[in-house]
Amino acid sequence: MERRLRKRWWKLVAGHMHTAGRLATGVTALPDVSGAFACTQAMWRFLANDRVTLPALIVPPREAGRLGVADSHCGYALLVHDWSKLSYPGHRSKTDQTQITRSKDIGYELYTALLVDADRGCPLAPMELELRSATGVYSTQQEQPAEPRPHLSQVLPVMQAAARWGLRPRLVHVIDREADSVAHFRTWHETGQLFLVRADDNRLVRWGGPLRKLVHIARELQCCGAFRHTRRVTYHGRPVEQFVAEAEVLLDRPAWIRTLAGKRRRLRGEPLTLRLVVAQVRDAEGQVLAQWLLLTNVPASGSADQIAMWYYWRWQIESFYKLLKSAGLELEHWQQETAEAIAKRLLVASMACVTIWRLQQQQTPAALEFQRVLVRLSGRQMKRTRPITTPALLHGLEKLLPVLALLHDYAPHQLRRLLREAMPILPFLRDTS
């Protein structure tokens, strides 16, 4: 991206450092811009510029992710893959929306690969993004829209592209239960990729000889006392205890794949040995509240305790989607009329999230004090257990930036004088010194 466009890009990133309302989802007008309409026009020209491409816009977030893992003490980093539907039921101007699942399920589908610190579990940056529409898939991997592909077919190209990102730690690809596919397990393992996938309870594997369901193996591990306590975690907002057990299983049955015609056929492959990590969360009485059956090819250098925690941190991508949608930027109320424009603005907004994440992860005295200042400016009532949140920091920064610009034109005593003279009806202003 050339220097002039990059400067404008940073202004638009700053304009997204706010929490939007559904009736005002545009970019925030910056103090050095003549007005809100001028800022809106700048955004429109930026998104419509042919020189502004998705592969160019993903470079700054990737650089932030690379810097985020550079000092990590863990030999691994997590790349969390997930999909989310974007709904615009009342936006008739968005004519390139596509059918997602059912005939009346219309919108766009967002695929994101989010980099997460494997040592602390904090989000670092989205490293890849794809947005599916009726006109094709707009991707950060190429400038032209591509043909739609099944979900799991999107994963391997991202895994292979990650080798060119220059990340020092080795990546572990974390995916939810949708990725429980023997054919894909074998392909990923053969190409040297490390993965961590939540498996279906009824997945058949060999453990000690005969075929067994994973859920039955987990039950037997519990009966023989193989679980050990690892740590206290939060589950649905309440503190619970995490227990972990591990076993080695063999996948030697043929896989089922779906052809282009939609038919299923069997595909034989080499037997694959994986680690089964069973993670449970229990309450104070020892009752199991939830259980996850995790299959991975991560070597023994990654302990079962770590692997269970890595999957627990998969929730960061859900928090990212929530920040984009309802808890911050109101993505599903944006007024851009094409998937390409939405994808470009998504990357600008994502960089605003990355900037706030970097502030939130700093533990220096100055950073901690600045976080408290932003939360105070936000005016939000915070929980004692969570005094700092990303939406509160965004909201506080939205108020701070124009105040700092205003202080260039007015000294504090001038502002206090204006308040007293213009609003004498407010008694507390008379006592402001």
Strands (DSSP E) found in 252-365: 255-258, 264-267, 272-282, 288-296
Strands 228-235 and 238-251 turn out to be: antiparallel
Mean pLDDT on 197-205: 94
Q: What separation, in Å, do the N-terminal and C-terminal C-alpha atoms of the chain show?
A: 49
Burial 330-360 (b: 16+ CB within 10 A, else e): bbbbbebebbbbbbbbbbbbbbbbbbbbbeb
Residue 208 DSSP class: S
Question: Could you give the angle at the alpha carbon of 29 between the alpha carbons of 23 and 32, nearest 5°?
Answer: 170
Weakest mean pLDDT among 219-228, 352-361, 401-410: 401-410
Cβ-based burial of 22 (10 A; exposed 0-12, middle 13-18, buried ≥19) = exposed
Mean pLDDT on 324-334: 85
C-alpha 180/C-alpha 198 separation (Å) is 7
C-alpha 33/C-alpha 242 separation (Å) is 52
Q: Which amino acid is at 187?
A: T
Closest by CA to 139, choosing from 346, 285, 394, is: 346
C-alpha 217/C-alpha 205 separation (Å) is 9
Closest by CA to 345, choosing from 327, 317, 324, is: 324
Query: pLDDT tens, 102-126?
Result: 777 899 999 999 999 999 999 999 9
Non-local CB neighbours of 26 within 8 Å, separated by 6+ positions? 20, 36, 39, 40, 43, 335
Question: Could you give the angle at the alpha carbon of 280 between the alpha carbons of 116 and 277, nearest 5°?
Answer: 65
Residue 182 and residue 269 in contact, taking contact as beta carbons nearer than 8 Å: yes
C-alpha 191/C-alpha 189 separation (Å) is 5
Query: pLDDT tens, 379-419?
Result: 888 888 889 988 889 888 888 888 888 888 899 889 888 88
Query: pLDDT tens, 139-198?
Result: 999 999 999 998 999 999 999 999 999 998 999 999 999 999 999 999 999 999 999 999
Question: Could you give the angle at the alpha carbon of 148 between the alpha carbons of 142 and 154, nearest 5°?
Answer: 70
Task: Specify the DSSP element, H or E, that contains 43.
Answer: helix 36-48
pLDDT level of residue 29 (50, 70, 90 thresholds): low
